[in-house]
Amino acid sequence: MTGRAALVVAAHGSRDDRSPATVRDLAGVLRRLAPDLVVREAFLDLSEPRVDEVLTGLHEQGHRRAVVVPLLLACAYHARVDLPAIVAGATSRLRSSQVTVAGVLGPEAGIQQVALDRLTEAGADLGDPELGVVLAAVGTSSAPANTAVAALARDWQRRYGCLVSPAFASAARPDVPSALRTLRAGGARRFALASWFLAPGLLPERVARLARNAEPGVLVAAPLGADVRVADVVLRRYADAAADADADAAADADADADAQ
């Protein structure tokens, strides 16, 4: 049986092959940053391998401890309900395995900086007071998750001087065309689309298409991608979750000793 917890990075999955390819690339970055750490990539849906399959494989290889880091930018349904349920089912079935689910990635400062760098790489000048930036995210039925994106947009506007509006690909308002109209009404004359997405895929393509249809000259930033700064945040989430799991295990051991 191996000692140190394995790291499982869990993404949603996509019908667009570029999305799981980005996750695999990120896993490769993690292996280079932490060569002594067992790293596996897994998916909740649409792509392979699935989380349950990966946890089973680790168990069969002698790994009894794992930390699952969700490659998600919002603490919404997949992070709060879907992934914990999958992990609970796996640990119940595997019995001797201890699996901990870490926190989501966003809106960590390092993640924000990658998104901002993607904007400047696309040609945006964040200090331009006539620049309107749409911060495009997935969107969810979770109001707190959507509110967090809106708060991030306000923070960027305060910090950088350009106009910033949130927008969502689905399940929430405003959508991208509405956000662009709001920015233009507020005085923006140049426009950029910031990507609050980890990887290329159908939703990032959709919001980019909507933005270009509404404002043909809009600058479109790339998703975060397999950036080393994203990997750094993953490793911090892993370390925090592993430390919490160790503390819980020690407390349980002390309680058992006191009961004897």
Q: Are residues 136 and 80 in the same domain?
A: no
Answer for the pair 163, 133: CB distance below 8 angstroms, yes or no.
Answer: yes
Q: Which domain holds residue 159?
A: 123-220
Q: Are residues 214 and 235 in the same domain?
A: no
Question: Is 248 inside a domain boundary?
Answer: yes
pTM for the model stands at 0.94
Answer for the pair 68, 87: CB distance below 8 angstroms, yes or no.
Answer: yes
pLDDT at site 196 = 99
Greater confidence, 60 or 246?
60
Q: Are residues 92 and 129 in the same domain?
A: no
Q: Are residues 10 and 96 in the same domain?
A: yes
Q: Are residues 101 and 230 in the same domain?
A: yes
Answer for the pair 6, 39: CB distance below 8 angstroms, yes or no.
Answer: yes
Cα dihedral across residues 41, 45, 49, 55: positive or negative? positive
- Is pLDDT at 256 greater than 60 in this prediction? no
Q: Are residues 22 and 41 in the same domain?
A: yes
pLDDT at site 2 = 60
Q: Are residues 211 and 230 in the same domain?
A: no
Least confident of 6-20, 100-114, 246-260: 246-260
Q: Are residues 205 and 189 in the same domain?
A: yes
Looking at the DSSP bridge assignments, the partners of residue 65 are 98
Question: Is 1 inside a domain boundary?
Answer: no
Greater confidence, 24 or 253?
24
pLDDT at site 7 = 99
Q: Render pLDDT for 154-203 as a digit per residue (tens, 0 to 9).
A: 999 999 999 999 999 999 999 999 999 999 999 999 999 999 999 999 99
d(CA 198, CA 259): 47
* Mean pLDDT across the chain: 95
Q: Are residues 168 and 255 in the same domain?
A: no
Q: Are residues 244 and 154 in the same domain?
A: no
Q: How confident is the model at residue 3 (pLDDT cuts 50, 70, 90)?
A: confident
Question: Is 110 inside a domain boundary?
Answer: no
Q: Are residues 244 and 189 in the same domain?
A: no
Least confident of 30-44, 111-125, 148-162, 236-250: 236-250
> Percent of the chain at pLDDT above 70?
95
Question: Is 114 inside a domain boundary?
Answer: no
Question: Is 85 inside a domain boundary?
Answer: yes
Number of domains in the chain: 2
CA-to-CA separations, 86 to 145, 190, 238, in angstroms, rounded: 21, 44, 18
CATH code assigned at 190: 3.40.50.1400
- Is pLDDT at 258 greater than 80 in this prediction? no
Q: Name 221's Cβ contacts closer than 8 Å, sequence gap at least 6.
A: 115, 118, 119, 121, 122, 124, 192, 193, 194, 195
Q: Are residues 161 and 179 in the same domain?
A: yes
- Is pLDDT at 253 greater than 60 in this prediction? no
pLDDT at site 257 = 58
Q: Name 121's Cβ contacts closer than 8 Å, sequence gap at least 6.
A: 221, 222
Question: Is 29 inside a domain boundary?
Answer: yes
DSSP conformation class of 193: E
Question: Is 118 inside a domain boundary?
Answer: no
Question: Is 111 inside a domain boundary?
Answer: no
Cα dihedral across residues 215, 221, 224, 229: positive or negative? negative
